[in-house]
């Protein structure tokens, strides 16, 4: 089903950036809009950090400057993604209402003087944020510039927890709702261990500084609570906005795999997803790969709807030890990659580079150098002109036959301390995503309770925490003909981080046709040889374990020591499908060897076979199909299009049989 355009007023690719006119005299604003028009900007995110300029005390609001900004923009054909301005409370607020300030686990306060210093559970923050949103929404509800709402900014970007009195109270209330009784909490948290039994709710705290390991379920619940507490704030703002402007879509900018926020819950509450992408341009950092994973996550969070790349940089950031500058041409390539992977908007942080404050050395669309003489601005204008040619791509979607399971509860629980070894959830997920990215196989991220019937292959990397109902969902998917690949240390605990005894991996033993008796984690430099049948030897690392087969067949076995001859990789035929299990971690090259064979078996293919480091995606909208080809090589490549032909939209040329792409070149072909 084709999706609707993101914004009612346009079917253009959205193009622009964060605009902070309050940092500049109004004489500069005229020049800004002139340059915006020149660059093809059609959308700016306005007022993100404007609270202090908009409100000087409890009752005094100053909107006139913002009125003038909004009027000027719309007069020049530029729409506004208007911020609710709640991301950085003004100093007067935290001085008069100190409960606004967040407090860390050691009891130290985050003060104003930077940004995002608020406690999510502070009654004063909530009260004044709600008031501000109400005022802004009422004032601009009918303004012709307004096309979207930008709630807050990058929730939990800097502050990942709060342990102040209001947060402690809110945590208790959250637990009361979850468990109903202290008895249920004591049971879930396993408080018989280390004398932690609670007799009264007032004894329960957020996980503050302790001599050694904090109760794991207490920590896990705190992570859940914190994500929910910020989401409550976001919903509070959203409800005000929807009441006053029911037709204006709302978003808040995500940050890809941001551990503190369970974005699956968040995405349900907003109208379209957007994210901020800052891959490191330093050579060797594989920024394209990192960005592709963020695009795929942001797209997957809201199936059936394109996303917006809300922020990226034109040139360089200011917050790494070395802030490498994107080489000429790569900003365009990264921007078109966002579109190729399902984005309908390409925006930057920020429009005009600051000359004061902590971000004055962060690149922008208009840099410190005179705009008209700047390479960056020329590239910005050229990109704006190109995006105008891609309007018909908007609303088209990506169809994936492969899914990788991502679950925040499993992530939080897995990375808590006192485990058999140190796992890194994101890198386990990334190893699989990388394979599909590099092989140009479209891949979605999904939760373990997703209806998986449209996928031919589902991968579950280290799904340490797994609820019974979700395990049943995976089992049913396999029985109906799906293929699943589960990797080691999955299905170990239930939702409360309590172990399922009687053989790992708990609820998945029947699905996988095996059980695991004990683990032999490997040292950092230790390797194990794993042999495929009688053939190829692969290199395994990090983990090994004793697998007992109960129906599954070994595809590969460990070759050394006590585990010699025991299964390292298994396959279980179940109903119409198959469940595979990897009892170790393979290095990336060897994982590819195995996955190549697996996808051949399942008949999963890239849309086109191309030279290495050429990215291929397909966006579809009803009968329209758009083939994106992105050359990440520093040299030209020739691509054999096989039987495909069509109109290349950036050059408006008919293409048949083959196409030549320059270094960092991109083609978007509307297929015949
Ligand atoms: C983002 C943030 C922006 C700006 C940018 C710099 O995290 O939303 O306001 O600070 O980083 O890279």
Closest CA to 442 of 670, 600, 619, 603: 619
pLDDT computed for residue 425 by the predictor: 98
Atom of ligand 1 nearest to the CA of 278: 12
Instruction: Tell me whether the omega of the peptide bond preceding residue 350 falls within 30 degrees of 0, making it cis.
Output: yes
Does the annotation mark 26 as catalytic? Answer: no
pLDDT grade for 490, boundaries at 50, 70 and 90: very high
422 catalytic? Reply is: no
Is 614 near ligand 1, meaning CB less than 6 Å away?
no
Residue pointed to by tokens 């917050």: 319
pTM over 0.95: yes
Q: What is the distance between the alpha carbons of residues 201 and 535, in angstroms, rounded to a whole number?
A: 60
Q: How many secondary structure helices (H) and strands (E) does the chain include?
A: 17, 26
Residue percentage of the chain with pLDDT more than 70: 99
Helix, strand, coil % in the chain, rounded to nearest 5: 35, 25, 45
CA of 349 to the centre of ligand 1 (A): 6
Retrieve residue 469's tokens. Answer: 């109902």
Which CATH number is 614-671 given?
Answer: 2.60.40.1180
Determine the angle formed by the axes of helices 165-179 and 182-189, rounding to 10 degrees: 90
Q: What is the pLDDT of residue 2?
A: 46
What SS3 class is residue 333? helix
H-helix or E-strand containing 475? Answer: helix 468-479
CA distances from 634 to 239, 333, 568, 631 (A): 48, 12, 39, 8
Contact, 406 vs 462, CB < 8 A? no
Comparing C-alpha atoms, which of 46, 40, 43 is closest to residue 67? 46
Length of the chain: 672
pLDDT 10s digits, 183-199: 999 999 999 999 999 99
List, for residues 20-29, the tens digit of each pLDDT value.
Answer: 999 999 999 9
What mean pLDDT do residues 190-213 have?
98
Ligand 1 atom with least separation from CA of 319:
12
User: Which one of 294, 349, 353 would you pick to mutate in the ligand 1 pocket, going by the greatest count of ligand atoms within 8 A of its CB?
Assistant: 349
> Could you tell me the distance, in angstroms and rounded to a whole number, from the CA of residue 410 to the centre of ligand 1?
28
The whole-angstrom distance between residue 430's C-alpha and the CA centroid of its chain comes to 12
pLDDT for residue 43 is more than 90: yes
Residue in the structure block whose two tokens are 């990109």: 383
pLDDT at 160 > cutoff 50: yes
545's enclosing H/E stretch is strand 545-549
Q: What angle do CA 556, 606, 653 make, to 5 degrees?
A: 165
Dihedral angle, C-alpha 200, 202, 208, 214, nearest 10 °: 10
**Neighbouring C-beta atoms of residue 80, cutoff 10 Å:** 26
Separation between Cα atoms, residue 131 and residue 124, nearest integer Å: 11
pLDDT digits (tens, 9 = 90+) for 130-151: 999 999 999 999 999 999 999 9
Q: C-alpha dihedral over 381, 385, 390, 395, to 10 degrees?
A: 50
Q: What CATH number belongs to 402-602?
A: 3.40.50.880
Quote the DSSP letter at residue 533: T
Kindly tell me if the per-residue pLDDT of 1 is higher than 50.
no
* Placement of tokens 């509070």 in the chain: 236
Q: What percent of the chain has pLDDT over 90?
A: 98
Q: 438: Cβ below 6 Å to ligand 1?
A: no
Residue spans of alpha helices (H) in 303-374:
330-340
Give the 3-state secondary structure of residue 149: strand
CB 664 within 8 A of CB 331: no
Model confidence at 98: pLDDT above 90: yes
- What are the domain boundaries of the chain? 14-92+119-161+225-392, 402-602, 614-671
Range 14-92+119-161+225-392 classified under CATH 3.30.70.100: no
Ligand 1 pocket: which of 83, 158, 311 to mutate (most atoms <8 Å of CB)?
A: 311
Three-state DSSP state, 101: strand
- Report the candidate in 624, 611, 608 with the shortest Cα–Cα distance to residue 660: 611
Residue nearest to atom 11 of ligand 1 (CA): 349
**Residue of the CA atom closest to atom 9 of ligand 1:** 349
Active site residue: 154, 237, 386, 615, which one? 154
DSSP, res 170: H
Per-residue pLDDT at 6: 79
Instruction: Kindly indicate the confidence band of residue 3, based on its pLDDT and cuts at 50, 70 and 90.
Output: low
Is the C-beta atom of 153 inside 6 A of ligand 1? yes
Q: Does the pLDDT of residue 563 top 80, yes or no?
A: yes
Which residue do the tokens 């995405």 mark?
A: 267
- Residue 154 near ligand 1, beta carbon < 6 Å: yes
Contact 113, 101 (CB under 8 A): no
Q: How far is CA 636 from the centre of its chain?
A: 31
d(CA 450, CA 433): 18
Q: What is the pLDDT of residues 622-670, one digit of tens each?
A: 999 999 999 999 999 999 999 999 999 999 999 999 999 999 999 999 9
Q: Pick the catalytic residue: 237, 311, 438, 615?
A: 311
**pLDDT band for position 4 (50/70/90)?**
low
Instruction: Record the tokens describing residue 476, joined without a space.
Output: 């049913």
| 393 phi and psi angles, rounded to 5 deg | -75, -25
């Amino acid at each position: 089903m084709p999706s609707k355009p993101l914004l009612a007023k346009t079917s253009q690719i959205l193009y622009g950036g964060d605009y902070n006119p309050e940092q500049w005299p109004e004489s500069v604003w005229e020049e800004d809009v002139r340059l915006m028009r020149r660059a093809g900007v059609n959308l700016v995110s306005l007022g993100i950090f404007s609270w202090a300029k908009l409100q000087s005390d409890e009752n005094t609001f100053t909107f006139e400057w913002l009125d003038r900004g909004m009027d000027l923009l719309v007069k020049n054909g530029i729409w506004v993604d208007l911020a609710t301005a709640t991301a950085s409370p003004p100093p007067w607020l935290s001085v008069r209402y100190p409960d606004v300030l967040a407090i860390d686990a050691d009891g130290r306060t985050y003060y104003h003087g930077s940004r995002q210093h608020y406690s999510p559970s502070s009654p004063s923050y909530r009260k004044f944020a709600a008031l501000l949103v109400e005022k802004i929404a009422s004032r601009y509800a009918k303004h012709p510039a307004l096309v979207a709402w930008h709630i807050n900014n990058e929730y939990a970007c800097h502050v990942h927890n709060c342990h102040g009195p209001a947060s402690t109270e809110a945590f208790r209330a959250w637990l009361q709702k979850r468990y109903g009784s202290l008895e249920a909490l004591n049971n879930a948290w396993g408080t018989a261990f280390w004398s932690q039994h609670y007799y009264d709710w007032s004894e329960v705290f957020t996980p503050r500084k302790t001599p050694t390991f904090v109760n794991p379920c207490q920590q896990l619940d705190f992570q859940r609570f914190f994500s929910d507490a910020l989401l409550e704030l976001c919903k509070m703002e959203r409800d005000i906005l929807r009441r006053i402007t029911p037709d204006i879509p709302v978003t808040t900018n995500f940050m890809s795999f941001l551990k503190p926020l369970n974005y699956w819950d968040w995405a349900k509450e907003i109208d379209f997803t957007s994210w901020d992408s800052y891959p490191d341009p330093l050579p060797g950092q594989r920024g394209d790969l990192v960005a592709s994973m963020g695009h795929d996550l942001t797209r997957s969070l809201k199936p059936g709807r394109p996303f917006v790349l809300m922020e990226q940089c034109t040139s360089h950031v200011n917050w790494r030890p070395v802030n490498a500058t994107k080489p000429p041409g790569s900003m365009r390539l990264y921007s078109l990659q966002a579109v190729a992977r399902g984005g309908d908007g390409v925006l930057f942080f920020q429009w005009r580079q600051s000359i004061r404050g902590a971000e004055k050395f962060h690149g922008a669309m208009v840099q410190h150098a005179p705009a008209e003489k700047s390479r960056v601005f020329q590239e910005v204008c050229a990109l704006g002109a190109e995006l105008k040619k891609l309007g018909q791509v908007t609303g088209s979607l990506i169809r994936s036959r492969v899914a990788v399971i991502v679950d925040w509860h499993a992530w939080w629980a897995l990375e808590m301390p006192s485990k058999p070894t140190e796992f890194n959830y994101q890198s386990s997920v990334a190893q699989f995503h990388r394979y599909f990215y590099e092989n140009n196989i479209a891949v979605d991220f999904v939760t373990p309770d997703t209806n998986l019937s449209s996928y031919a292959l589902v991968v579950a990397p280290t799904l340490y925490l797994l609820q019974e109902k979700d395990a049943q969902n995976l089992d049913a998917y396999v029985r109906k003909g799906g293929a699943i690949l589960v990797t080691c240390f999955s299905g170990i605990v239930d939702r409360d981080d309590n172990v399922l005894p009687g053989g790992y991996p708990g609820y998945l033993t029947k699905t996988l046709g095996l059980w695991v008796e004990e683990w032999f984690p490997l040292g950092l430099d230790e390797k194990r040889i794993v042999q495929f049948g009688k053939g190829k030897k692969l290199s395994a690392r990090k983990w090994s374990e004793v697998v007992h087969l109960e129906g599954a067949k070994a595809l590969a076995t460990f070759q050394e020591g006590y585990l010699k001859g025991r299964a390292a990789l298994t396959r279980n035929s179940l109903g119409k499908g198959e469940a595979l299990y990897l009892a170790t971690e393979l290095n990336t090259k060897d994982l590819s060897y195995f996955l190549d064979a697996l996808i051949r078996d399942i008949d999963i293919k890239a849309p086109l076979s191309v030279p290495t480091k050429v990215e291929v995606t397909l966006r579809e909208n009803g009968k329209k199909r758009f083939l994106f080809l992105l050359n990440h090589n520093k040299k030209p490549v020739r691509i054999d299009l096989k039987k495909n032909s069509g109109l290349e939209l950036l050059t408006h040329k008919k293409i048949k049989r083959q196409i030549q792409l320059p270094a960092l070149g991109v083609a978007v072909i509307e297929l015949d």
